[in-house]
């Protein structure tokens, strides 16, 4: 028995390995967990470099930290844009599926309306025939 796939399943199965990784990275970077972990990392980095007793590997103004952030941003921006492009594609596929569902529903409603009209005409014909029978008696 074949299972029917919806648009979301079909789209998910069509993603490449790189696309799935990019989506996971974008999801992770767009979370409170990432913000909190990054904030803790920055605070520890600055704290260790300000209060270190012997060795300051990145003294104020924290140029190495800025370099790390620049590198992170250079990779994050295209990854997030790829994820947004895929979201747009998912939205387009969902809109297309919704449109097709609406068309199918419209056709079914039109068919039901025709059937109901046909039944109504048949009922009226029977009523008229019964009235004609009664009048002829």
* Percent of the chain residues past pLDDT 90, beyond the cut: 42
H or E stretch at 10: helix 7-14
Predicted TM-score of the model (pTM): 0.59
Give the pLDDT of residue 111: 96
Give the pLDDT of residue 20: 84
Lowest mean pLDDT among 17-26, 39-48, 99-108: 17-26
Structure tokens at 6: 């919806």
Give the pLDDT of residue 23: 84
Mean pLDDT of the chain: 87
Stretch 24-52: mean pLDDT, rounded? Answer: 89
Give the pLDDT of residue 102: 96
- Does residue 39 carry a pLDDT above 90? yes
DSSP secondary structure, 57-124, as one string: SS-TTTHHHHHHHHHHHHHHHHHHHHHHHHHHHHHHHHHHHHHHHHHHHHHHHHHHHHHHHHHHHHHH
Lowest mean pLDDT among 6-10, 49-53, 93-97: 6-10
Instruction: Return the half-sphere exposure (C-beta side, CA atoms, 13 A cut-off) of residue 30.
Output: 12
Give the pLDDT of residue 113: 96
């Amino acid at each position: 028995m074949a299972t029917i796939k919806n648009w979301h399943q079909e789209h998910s199965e069509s993603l490449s390995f790189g696309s799935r990784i990019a989506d996971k990275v974008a999801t992770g970077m767009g979370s409170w967990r990432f913000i909190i972990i990054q904030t803790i990392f920055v605070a520890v980095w600055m704290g260790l470099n300000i209060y270190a007793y012997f060795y300051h590997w990145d003294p104020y103004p924290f140029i190495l930290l800025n370099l790390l952030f620049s590198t992170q941003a250079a990779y994050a921006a295209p990854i997030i844009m790829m994820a947004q492009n895929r979201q747009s594609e998912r939205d387009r596929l969902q809109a297309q599926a919704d449109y097709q569902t609406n068309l199918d529903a419209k056709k079914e409603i039109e068919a039901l309306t025709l059937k109901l009209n046909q039944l109504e005409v048949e009922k009226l014909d029977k009523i008229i025939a019964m009235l004609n029978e009664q009048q002829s008696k």
